[in-house]
Amino acid sequence: MANFSNDAIQQAMKTSGMIPVFYHADIEVAKAVVDASYRGGVRVFEFTNRGENAFSVFTELLKHVQKYSDLMLGIGTIMDATTTQKFISAGAHFIVSPILKQEMAAVCKKENKLWIPGCATLTEIVTAKDLGAKVIKIFPGSVLGPGFVSSIMPVVPGLQLMPTGGVEPTEANLSAWFKAGVICVGMGSQLFAKEVIETKNWAKLEQSVADALAVITKIRKK
């Protein structure tokens, strides 16, 4: 199984600028979405632990992505230490959470895995940083907004933030986030339209992913 250093994962997050966030109970759909995302240019993917059989789908997915030497597959929506341990043991490349839970930091530290906790206030962010978080998820992104990021960046320099939740694949929205200083964005439902998944229109999905990444590249060149 491919193994990536935490530095390599952070670098890949910064380089691509976008991480898809996705869950599906059907392994075939999950595989097709990961494949289409990869073809569209994604190199870091977050599968979320949001359903009964998320664990079995995730372990299958890990096997499936072994054919890509440069795809990093992490697990998101993790809420406690036990689940963190379970997914790391199965081979998750990194751990994402919508909350700041100290016990998860300890497990990730012991296993030397990247822990990306979800924070919503600067107090939570600095607590996460002090506990070893190198990348911090800002959640819910749409509630806090790019203004939150631009307000806190001068206060605590060097933060590596990834907003998730309500980030839109439009030039206006992405440009506001990157201008505020985020290193990458997480994108879920705004990227994977229900209708595209239902009709299994993988070519369209690949195009949406490629379009979003192209917008980010364009913004960063400015």
Partner 1 sequence: MKEGRIVPLFTHDNPTDAQQVLEAAYSGGIRVFEFTNRRENSFDVFRHLLDVSKKHSDLMLGIGTVLDGPTTKKFIDVGADFVISPIMKLEMAKVCRDHDISWIPGCATLTEIVTAKDNGAEIIKLFPGSVLGPGFVSSVMPVVPGLQLMITGGVEPNEKSITSWFKAGAACLGMGSQLFTKEILEQKDWTLLKQRIQEALKLAREAKK
Q: How far is the CB of 191 from partner 1 (least distance, A)?
A: 25
Q: How far is the CB of 73 from partner 1 (least distance, A)?
A: 33
Rg (CA), the chain: 16
69 vs 154 by CB, closer to partner 1? 154
34 vs 144 by CB, closer to partner 1? 144
Q: Within a 10 A sphere around the Cβ of 35, how many other Cβ atoms?
A: 18
The amino acid that residue 200 corresponds to is: K
The amino acid that residue 44 corresponds to is: V
Question: Rule CB under 8 A: which residues touch partner 1?
Answer: 120-123, 126-127, 144-145, 147-148, 151-152, 154-156
20 vs 118 by CB, closer to partner 1? 118
Q: How far is the CB of 147 from partner 1 (least distance, A)?
A: 5
CA dist., res. 34 & res. 13, Å (int) = 16
42 vs 138 by CB, closer to partner 1? 138
117 vs 169 by CB, closer to partner 1? 117
Q: Which residues contact 88 (CB under 8 A, 6 or more apart)?
A: 95, 107, 108, 111, 113
Q: How far is the CB of 207 from partner 1 (least distance, A)?
A: 34
End-to-end CA distance of the chain: 38
Asked whether the beta carbons of 145 and 138 are under 8 A apart, the reply is no
Q: How far is the CB of 138 from partner 1 (least distance, A)?
A: 11
